[in-house]
Amino acid sequence: MTQRLSVERLFGDPPLFRNLPTGMQIAPDGCYFAFLRTAEDDRERLDLWRCEASGSAPRCWVRATQLNSSSDAEASAAEKAERERRRQFSAGITSFTLSPDGQRVLLCADGAGFVMDTADENITRITPEGTRQTQLRFSPAGNHLSYVREGNLYCYSLDTGTERALTTDANQAVAYGVPDFIAAEEMHRFEGHWWSPDESLLAYTRVDESPVAISQRFEISASSFDVIEQRYPYTGEANARVDLLIQDLRTGTVTPVTYAARSDDYLARVGWANQKLAVQVQQRDQKQLTLSFADPQTGSLEVKIAESAKTWVDLHNNFRCIDDERFIWTSERDGSAQLYLYDSDGPRKLTSAPGRVSSVMYADEQQVLYLGWLEDPTEQHLYRVEITSGTRTQLTDAAGWHDVVVAPGARWYVDRFSALEMAGHISVATPTGDNVTVLEETIDQDHGYFPYRSAHRAPILGSLEGPDGSTLYYRLTKPDVTQSTHPVVVSVYGGPGVQRVRNEWPPLTLQLFAQRGYGVLELDNRGSSNRERAFQDPIYGQLGEVEVADQVRGAEFLRGLDWVDPQRIGVFGHSYGGYMAVMCMAKAPHIFQAGVSVAPVSDWCLYDTHYTERYLSTPTANPEGYRSSAVFPYLENLRGSLLLIHGMADDNVLFTHSTKLYAALQQANQRFEMMTYPGSKHALQEQSVSVHRFELILDFFERNL
């Protein structure tokens, strides 16, 4: 008997899919790799697992319940912010690090740090009872730990068991060794301090939020109402002041690195290049990015690269130092991200279009291994490029999406793979083609998803010609066609920096719709990521224009399918997707009959500096762009049914976006439905909230489509 997936079962325990490993790390000696994995009985707890390089079956190495991590201290605001910025929604062992010598493992749980000896697997708590830390990490030789507590940076000697405060004057506005809000939320720089290779120096940030005006944010929970004074950097306004310092741990001498040519420059990336500090700096308008090497004794900078663009320069994590003279870099200067080798003679291009380099995974004197694509952006593969000859070899074969971690010396790698009809597959592989499967999500009779397997609807991939002639890729999940026509929900994100259409195992939330008779279309419009610059740049200066035009093109394609009811097309999205749901409903009311908008941006003047200014400049410089990118000029055109959802403690897309939208809709005498979640932040990840939210959404579409 066919059994359809219920909302309660999807979000209930035990988890249907325990998720494939996250945070994979390979031991320095290459003998094993470790990863985090959802516990068998609790979807919100992560345990640490270990698997030998030989390919033997993985074993649970440390259960979170083994750690006495309970603390009387409530999670600090900094800890909550770090987890929110990292989109880290599970408890248990939230992060781990293998020591450089492979003899220890650093485990983090509930803000506490533990060290496990890999020989006897004895676990010792390092951080003091009753305290909570962030930014825990090993020093390069594994002799020390560093971490931040209550805004100050500490160093802990594993040899002597003593803790040393490197800074002492943190306060409500000033913190050391952490990323500022913009760095973590928008630049995806989650680090705030960096050890030199010989452990003698520690570079770290001093973040001063006092230049950012205090604004009041209301967090409404089930039984309380809190007024949060938050220094939120609204677009066009001041950012936090971020200083970069280098401290000599032997003498205590602190040397400032004056990285900013202008007072509002961004500290984008930091890392050590042997004995020099590599510093990436982005201009406030994001049209220029420089890579410089800083002398740790003087703090003086030597500029190595200056990238520029007419729109914006994307940040990446692909700088790799080979030796004192050579390093690897990626650039989009010729229209798509490609590899470059820099040496004393300047840059030499190692790869060319077609295709795109996404992530450099390994580099040495002979070769570079990277993830990217050649012909099809819906797939991701591992490639090797020989530095001398430029010969490129594709190392992964199976069609789909590959994420890898490469072992020291590139002797082998761990391949995490999935495809449209492959839930998950982990293998240990070598560049010569040897491959051993170590973990696979096989949906057999013992698997939690087995009762719903016969009702599962596998999607298909395809492409369309967009309004400007560009290629738009889509993923379409077709229902079991049991009647003449069916409704379709367009599941949209639509914003920059995200790619939804991939040849990978899709989210099971799509099955909630498909198994109830809805088709589901996902389409990556212009402006979305992992494409050439000509595809990303059209959103510059105004948002919500070409993105909506491309989604309308997708809906027109749907209306031409014989199983689709052209009068029953809805749209659903979260965050930028929530913004897109409202814009699609308002700009194309003849197409979209119903829409669900979750945590939408309604007014870009209420969003932050780095993200918004990248595409719209400032409200002063581009007032018309901000006006026409907001939802308000188009609300009078709404005709269909609209459901608005928002968390009442959202510190990313502030709840103000929705309250302003509510008021505008009411003033325009537009009817709408709404649901708010007390205490929930942007992701709305709480188990009970997830169940309630999706049951509400399904009910809404049932009534309106």
Strand order, beta sheet including 276-282: 266-273, 276-282, 288-294, 301-308
- The residue among 67, 69, 49 whose CA lies nearest residue 59 is 49
Joined together, the tokens standing for residue 548 give: 């909506």
Which of the residues are catalytic?
575, 650, 682
What is the structure's pLDDT at 259?
97
- Give the separation between CA 661 and CA 644, rounded to whole angstroms: 9
What is the structure's pLDDT at 84?
61
In terms of C-beta density within 10 A (0-12 exposed, 13-18 middle, 19 or more buried), how is residue 99 classed? Answer: buried
What is the structure's pLDDT at 367?
97
Yes or no: say if 124 and 114 are a contact pair by the CB < 8 Å rule: yes
Mean pLDDT, residues 398-425: 95
Residue matched to tokens 């510059």: 540
What is the structure's pLDDT at 481?
84
Yes or no: say if 60 and 18 are a contact pair by the CB < 8 Å rule: no
Mean pLDDT, residues 417-426: 93
Whether the per-residue pLDDT at 80 is higher than 80: the answer is no
Mean pLDDT, residues 82-88: 59
Whether the per-residue pLDDT at 215 is higher than 50: the answer is yes
- Give the separation between CA 217 and CA 667, rounded to whole angstroms: 24
Whether the per-residue pLDDT at 604 is higher than 70: the answer is yes
Yes or no: say if 596 and 586 are a contact pair by the CB < 8 Å rule: no
What is the structure's pLDDT at 74?
59
Least confident range of 105-109, 220-224, 377-381, 616-620: 220-224
Yes or no: say if 174 and 206 are a contact pair by the CB < 8 Å rule: yes
**Check whether domain 457-704 has CATH 3.50.30.60, yes or no:** no
- Beta strands (DSSP E) in 486-562 are 486-492, 519-523
Q: Is the pTM of this model over 0.85?
A: yes
- Give the separation between CA 225 and CA 317, rounded to whole angstroms: 41
- The residue among 134, 30, 15, 146 whose CA lies nearest residue 85 is 134
What is the structure's pLDDT at 78?
62
Q: What is the pLDDT of residues 611-622, one digit of tens each?
A: 999 999 999 999
Q: What is the pLDDT of residues 254-310, one digit of tens each?
A: 999 999 999 999 999 999 999 999 999 999 999 999 999 999 999 999 999 999 999
**Residue 580, H or E segment:** helix 576-587
CA distances from 234 to 240, 474, 565, 619 (A): 11, 34, 43, 10
Structure letter (DSSP) for residue 173:
S
Residue matched to tokens 């507590």: 149
Per the DSSP assignment, residues forming a β-bridge with 386 are: 367
Q: What is the pLDDT of residues 139-156, one digit of tens each?
A: 999 999 999 999 999 999
- The residue among 402, 484, 487, 488 whose CA lies nearest residue 475 is 488
What is the structure's pLDDT at 71?
53
Whether the per-residue pLDDT at 435 is higher than 80: the answer is yes
Yes or no: say if 659 and 677 are a contact pair by the CB < 8 Å rule: no
Helices 576-587, 546-559: inter-axial angle, 10-degree rounding:
70
Yes or no: say if 218 and 294 are a contact pair by the CB < 8 Å rule: no
Joined together, the tokens standing for residue 615 give: 């595409």
Q: Which residue has the higher pLDDT, 116 or 42?
A: 116
- Beta strands (DSSP E) in 221-287 are 225-230, 241-248, 254-257, 266-273, 276-282
- Give the separation between CA 692 and CA 690, rounded to whole angstroms: 6
- The residue among 143, 94, 97 whose CA lies nearest residue 116 is 97
- Give the separation between CA 290 and CA 304, rounded to whole angstroms: 7
Mean pLDDT, residues 219-235: 78
What is the structure's pLDDT at 346?
93
- Give the separation between CA 369 and CA 392, rounded to whole angstroms: 10
- Give the separation between CA 286 and CA 313, rounded to whole angstroms: 6
- Beta strands (DSSP E) in 364-507 are 367-373, 381-386, 392-394, 401-406, 413-419, 422-429, 435-440, 460-465, 471-477, 486-492
**Residue 193, H or E segment:** strand 193-195
Radius of gyration of the chain (CA): 25
- Give the separation between CA 265 and CA 284, rounded to whole angstroms: 5
The helices-and-strands tally (H runs, E runs) of the chain is: 11, 44
Whether the per-residue pLDDT at 90 is higher than 80: the answer is no
Whether the per-residue pLDDT at 89 is higher than 60: the answer is no
Mean pLDDT, residues 596-608: 98
Percent of the chain with pLDDT over 90: 84
- Give the separation between CA 441 and CA 418, rounded to whole angstroms: 10
Dihedral angle of Cα 423, 424, 430, 436, to the nearest 10 degrees: -100
What is the structure's pLDDT at 56?
82
What is the structure's pLDDT at 228?
73
Joined together, the tokens standing for residue 12 give: 């209930």
Q: What is the pLDDT of residues 644-680, one digit of tens each?
A: 999 998 988 999 999 999 999 999 999 999 999 998 9
Average pLDDT, the chain: 93
Q: What is the pLDDT of residues 541-577, one digit of tens each?
A: 999 999 999 999 999 999 999 999 999 999 999 999 9
Q: How many residues does the chain have?
A: 705
What is the structure's pLDDT at 72?
47
- Give the separation between CA 331 and CA 280, rounded to whole angstroms: 14
DSSP, collapsed to helix, strand or coil, labels residue 626 as helix
In terms of C-beta density within 10 A (0-12 exposed, 13-18 middle, 19 or more buried), how is residue 253 classed? Answer: exposed
In the chain, domain spans: 170-217+226-313, 457-704
- The residue among 55, 133, 52 whose CA lies nearest residue 95 is 133
- Phi first, then psi, for residue 409 (nearest 5°) are 75, 0
- Give the separation between CA 654 and CA 374, rounded to whole angstroms: 39
